[in-house]
Amino acid sequence: MFVSVAAFLGLFAVAAVTSETIIDLGDERWILQNPSLDISVPGSVPSHAHLDLLENKIIDEPTYGLGDLELRWIAYANWTYLSPAISGLITSSDISTYLVFNGIDTFANISFCDQSIGTTNNQFRQWTFDVTSILSNCTKPPALALSFISAPVMANYLGNLSNPTLNCSTCFEAQYEFTDRLFIRKEQSDFGWDWGPAFAPAGIWQPAYIVQLKHKEIYVLNSMVDIYRRGQLNNLPPDQTEPWIVNASVDYLGALPDGTGMRTTIMDTSGQIFLSGPLSDVITANGTITGDVLVDKTPDLWWPSGHGDQNLYNMTLEIVDGQNKSLASVQKRIGFRTIVLNQGVITDEQSSQGIAPGANWHFEINGHEIFCKGSNLVPLDPFWPRVTEDDMEFLIKSAIAANQNMLRVWASGSYLPDFFYDMADEYGLLLWSELEFSDALYPTVPSFLSNVREEAQYHIRRLNHHPSLALWAGNNEIELGLDILTEEDPESTVSAKQQYEKLFLDVLLHTVYDNSRSISYSPSSTTNGYISLNHSAPLPMVERYINLSAGSIYGDSDYYNYDPTQAFNISSYPVARFANEFGFHSQPSYQTWSSSIPASELHFNSSTILSRNHHYTLNTSTFLTSAVDPPVPENQTEMSLGGMGQLSQATLMYFPVARKLDRRANFTAQIYTTQIFQSEFDRSQIAAYRRGSGQAQRTLGALYWQLNDIWAAPTWSSIEVGGRWKLLHYGARDIFKPVVIAPYFDVESGTLEVWVTSDLWQPINGSATLRWYDWSGKALANGTETHVQVGPINSTSVWTLNTTALPFALDNAVAILSVDATRQDGKKYNHTHPFYPIPFSSDRVQQNLHDPKLRLSYSVKQQTFTVESQAVAAWVWLEHPVGVRGYFTDNGFWMLPGKRDVQFVTQRDDTKGEWVHEVTVSSLWDLTQP
């Protein structure tokens, strides 16, 4: 179960080559204890108490059934992790001994040889303790004890206004299951979120070591490599003709002798030395040694997926003594690229191209604008120590397979391990990364700020060398929340803003700028950007907030609308430079539900399924002020008003009502329609934001909410817990293709516009066709074909037509739009998109539908499924049984009469290949049948 130790060390683990003694505390036989609950069981490091209780069969799988509610006692209890007497330690007067914890979750009193050595209060920090003198006085082999205090209890204690430690009368939070999360530095979603459970686990969740150093020996705690163009400043596009500078530093334990220096060797892909030699300007201070080197050669640049190769270099960084003997060495895999979040004012040149005034808000990679296609990442599990490298790699591969080039690592999970960034470097996936603050106004007392500074500095330095690292954002949605509050009550927002700026525009901005020149910083995920940026000012960035000029466009958008009548009304979507959050929820598959809840609960709105819906509120624009009025519902009637009610309203409005008598069939029908609605709504927005690249708003990004799930529940995800792709993930894969054709329909007037959009960096040329069919699959009149040409990252209107003037009944008509195009270098692209003017909830449409008589066959030899249809089949859906993880090369597609071949990309198969015989196929037609 605890296979992931390596995951947190990373592919290229920090490693020192000297002969110091390191004892991995993960190898010791720990005990997990709670005397008042009469529990004493074997424990692990790294782990969480929940996982050790599970391992010892004290509890069942926490995410099964009602575990979220029934296991609160674990979160409210105090747990102690006890090590055995640790043997093998050297006791000699010239040895220094340290405890190094790469992460403790969260509040622990630590004792060593029965002496208290310190307390911890931040899940995200690395902690070190010098225990040299305690060890020298210890009369027996020493043992360690970590006594954890309940995080929810501690949060309430620190948030209590009568407690002077952190009390903050102006603080507030969007509140979920446990309250006062803002007063503690722990994964904020551990206290519940609208897509997740609240377990608030405790434990030594990252590797831990005892380190013993002799004279001149040092231990590497952390290291940082910053690669930038000479003269580059954060947030500003650098001069691409300047040479590269590699700045590197190492944070260490121990004492460096005088005359210590640094040297590096950088190897290219072919194993040749690209650069080798000493670093200049070496400075040693405060446990850190830093130096830099000017690169006098031209490296092969790193590019994100779809825009070039992911060229990587292996770097060895060494600390050397005066005789050039290596004292410590660190391996890192690096890449040369610049990435900037450009928020500059719209230039005259841009205006002359038709771009609306205001400010930019887009990414530039190596000096090129890029359209970012992607999604938002939430924690993979409530218990990180059991997340495997396979789980992480599958998500990255799935994002890449869905034509995504960016993920936003959302601000209230955890900082991710190096392994995740290493994989993203390899696959070319940009990671917009966030510091862990979300939907709350946080305290700003000095002790809180210094705790936060330590946390941020550790991860900013740890991750900076990854070419996939695209941005540091300070928080999730807090600026948006402040803007909403300012509009309601400008007076009372003044002090909130000061507090906000202290944390996000002073402390955290400086922590990024002090440690990196290569990475841009944005205080908040959703923002109207800055008004001014001056690196020499004490507060370099001045935010725009809602000081907007009419007719100007700024910043990025965060948009949710649960009124289903507006879902396909394109004029209701936000018009911004970038769309960083939007989406709708849906049910996970029957297979995923069946692994997570008892069989008796596997039916429409069963009480367990209702309890998994944590999206209680009807109006999300109140997300911040909801602290005043906690959204937790009183009863099941109220629960069904929020998320569950929205799912029903949306599906009833657009799809046939399931009239299945069989409970399973009826539930499966609801799952399927919620997944279609989610996919269609998200796709409609993605198409609109992509089209915006060629309109005045010059939109250059669309990241839907959310990529993955933490458990089985009705959520916004496109991939279910366990890895099964929802219909949305296939839908996103399709609409994120480089060149797409899409309909933009105005229901009121009946006007259909068809546009072709391309995010390629070279122009494309080709043809677009529009063909009408009736539901039997018979071609209707009035098809059309035309030449199309689209410039780099642009869109073109192909047709505008009046559907009310067509010579056939719209309730028996579907248009198939398609584009075939060629890039300058000869590479070919194609895309098709169905368009139907009248929703399937219409009785007349339902009467006109034909049974496609779908047939599925499998060829063992070709490892290919073939679907055969005899009429138009909408959202043809292949489902595989549990026991296999992977994805179909196509799914959720439409068919005209004919055949379609589909393969399956397998990551893991526990069925020895038997699963292929249990794949099913269905389509919208099946919903209309009893």
Ligand X SMILES: *[C@@H]1O[C@H](CO)[C@@H](O)[C@H](O)[C@H]1NC(C)=O
Q: Please answer whether residues 757 and 738 qualify as being in contact, where contact means their C-beta atoms are separated by less than 8 angstroms.
A: no
Based on CB atoms, which residue is closest to ligand X, 312 or 411? 312
Question: Residues 800-819: x/- map of binding to ligand X (CB under 6 A)?
Answer: --------------------
- Work out whether 856 is an interface residue with ligand X (CB under 6 A): no
Can you say whether the dihedral through the CA atoms of 509, 513, 516, 520 is positive or negative? positive
Applying CB under 6 A, the span of 267-275, 365-373, 404-412, 782-790 interacting with ligand X comes to 267-275
Using Cβ positions, the residue closest to ligand X within the complex turns out to be: 285
Nearest-CA neighbor of 375 among 822, 728, 862, 840?
A: 728
Nearer to ligand X, 352 or 635 (CB): 635
Question: Residue 149 interacts with ligand X (CB under 6 A)?
Answer: yes
Q: Which is nearer to ligand X, 628 or 860 (CB)?
A: 628
By beta-carbon proximity to ligand X, the closer residue of 650 and 710 is 650
Specify the pairing of strand 884-888 against strand 904-909: antiparallel
Using CB under 6 A as the binding rule, whether residue 232 contacts ligand X is answered as no
Asked if 693 and 371 touch (Cβ cutoff 8 Å), the reply is: yes
Interaction of residue 532 with ligand X, rule CB under 6 A? no
| Single residue of 87, 92, 286, 600 touching ligand X by CB under 6 A | 286
Burial of 140 (0-12, 13-18, 19+ CB in 10 A): exposed
- Cβ closest to ligand X, residue 335 vs residue 523: 335
Given 398, 518, 668, 670, the residue binding ligand X (CB under 6 A): 670
447 binds ligand X per the rule CB under 6 A? no
| CB of 665 vs ligand X, minimal distance in Å | 9
Choose the binding region for ligand X from 59-67, 361-369, 632-640, 872-880 (rule: CB under 6 A).
632-640
We find the least distance from the C-beta atom of residue 633 to ligand X, in angstroms, to be 7
On whether the CB atoms of residues 321 and 260 are closer than 8 A, the answer is: yes
DSSP-derived letter for residue 302 is B
DSSP designation for 166: T
Q: Kind and range of the H or E element at 38? A: none
Q: How far is the CB of 164 from ligand X (least distance, A)?
A: 17
Q: Computed from CA positions of residues 380, 385, 386, 391, in that sequence, does the dihedral angle turn out positive or negative? A: positive
Among 91, 240, 269, 749, binds ligand X (CB under 6 A): 269
511 or 670, CB closer to ligand X? 670
Q: Which of 538, 599, 635, 748 binds ligand X (CB under 6 A)?
A: 635
Closest CA to 643 of 710, 714, 564: 714
End-to-end alpha-carbon separation of the chain, Å? Answer: 44
Residues 336 and 244: their CA atoms lie apart, in Å, by 8
Shortest reach from residue 194's CB to ligand X, in Å: 19
Residue among 332 and 683 whose Cβ is closer to ligand X: 332
Residue placing its CB nearer to ligand X in the complex, 396 or 650: 650
Cβ-based nearer residue to ligand X, 198 or 409: 198
- Distance of alpha carbon 20 from alpha carbon 305, whole angstroms: 41
User: Count of residues for the chain?
Assistant: 930
State yes or no: is 477 an active-site residue.
yes
Identify the residue among 134, 225, 355, 790 touching ligand X (CB under 6 A): 134
Could you tell me the smallest distance in angstroms from the CB atom of residue 33 to ligand X? Answer: 12
Query: What is the distance between the alpha carbons of residues 172 and 439, in angstroms, rounded to a whole number?
Result: 9
Q: Cβ neighbours of residue 895 under 8 Å, at least 6 residues apart?
A: 852, 867, 869, 872, 873, 876, 923
Site for ligand X in 591-620 (CB under 6 A): 603-604
* Binding-site member from 91, 133, 565, 929 for ligand X (CB under 6 A): 133
638 binds ligand X (CB under 6 A): yes
Q: Contacting ligand X (CB under 6 A), which of 27, 38, 93, 285?
A: 285
| DSSP characters over 94-127 | T-EEEEEES--BSEEEEEETTEEEEEEEBTTS-E
Report in angstroms how near the CB of residue 288 gets to ligand X at its nearest: 7
Shortest reach from residue 813's CB to ligand X, in Å: 27
What whole-number distance in Å separates Cα of residue 48 and Cα of residue 305? 36
Q: Closest approach of Cβ 674 to ligand X, in Å?
A: 8
Q: Give the residue from 474, 528, 540, 129 showing the smallest Cα distance to 361.
A: 528
Considering only residues 320, 370, 658, 793, which one is a binding residue for ligand X as defined by CB under 6 A? 658
Under the binding rule (CB under 6 A), the answer on residue 678 touching ligand X is: no
Please give, one letter per residue, the 3-state secondary structure of 559-577.
ECCCCHHHCCCHHHCCCCC
Helical residues (DSSP H) of 138-243, grouped into ranges: 151-159
Rounded to an integer, what distance in angstroms lies between the CA atom of residue 409 and that of residue 391? 16
Q: Please choose, out of 230-238, 394-402, 549-557, 663-671, the segment that lies near ligand X by the rule CB under 6 A.
A: 663-671
In angstroms, give the least distance from the CB of 273 to ligand X.
Answer: 10
State the nearest-atom distance from the C-beta of 909 to ligand X, in Å. Answer: 27
Residue 919 in contact with ligand X, rule: CB under 6 A: no
137 binds ligand X (CB under 6 A): yes
Cis preceding-peptide flag for 649 (omega within 30 of 0):
no
| Binding segment toward ligand X, per CB under 6 A, in 203-211, 427-435, 665-673, 808-816 | 665-673
Contact between 33 and ligand X per CB under 6 A: no
Distance CA 381, CA 360 (A): 36
Is 634 among the residues that bind ligand X (CB under 6 A)?
yes
* 666 contacts ligand X (rule: CB under 6 A): yes
Helical segments of 284-443, H only: 348-352, 389-401, 418-427
Are 848 and 775 in contact, with CB atoms under 8 Å apart?
yes
Minimal distance, residue 754 CB to ligand X, in Å: 33
Under the binding rule (CB under 6 A), the answer on residue 312 touching ligand X is: yes
Could you tell me which residues come within 8 angstroms of residue 869 by beta carbon, excluding any fewer than 6 positions away? 852, 853, 854, 876, 895, 896, 897, 898, 899, 900, 923
Q: Using DSSP, state whether 533 is helix, strand or coil.
A: strand
Closest CA to 829 of 899, 771, 758: 758
* 13, 77, 356, 919: residue in contact with ligand X (rule CB under 6 A): 77
Residue 36 sits in the site that holds ligand X (CB under 6 A): yes
Set 477, 501, 581, 680: catalytic member: 477
CB of 654 to ligand X, least distance (A): 12
**d(Cα 344, Cα 363) in Å, to the nearest integer?**
11
Cα radius of gyration (the chain): 28
116 sits near ligand X (criterion: CB under 6 A): no
DSSP conformational letter for 644: I
Closer of 267 and 548 to ligand X (Cβ) = 267
Kindly determine how many residues on this chain lie close enough to bind ligand X according to the rule CB under 6 A. 26
Among 19, 323, 637, 843, binds ligand X (CB under 6 A): 637
What residues line the site for ligand X (CB under 6 A)? Answer: 36, 77-78, 133-134, 137, 149-150, 267, 269, 271, 285-286, 312-314, 603-604, 634-635, 637-638, 658, 666, 669-670
The residues assigned a catalytic role are: 477
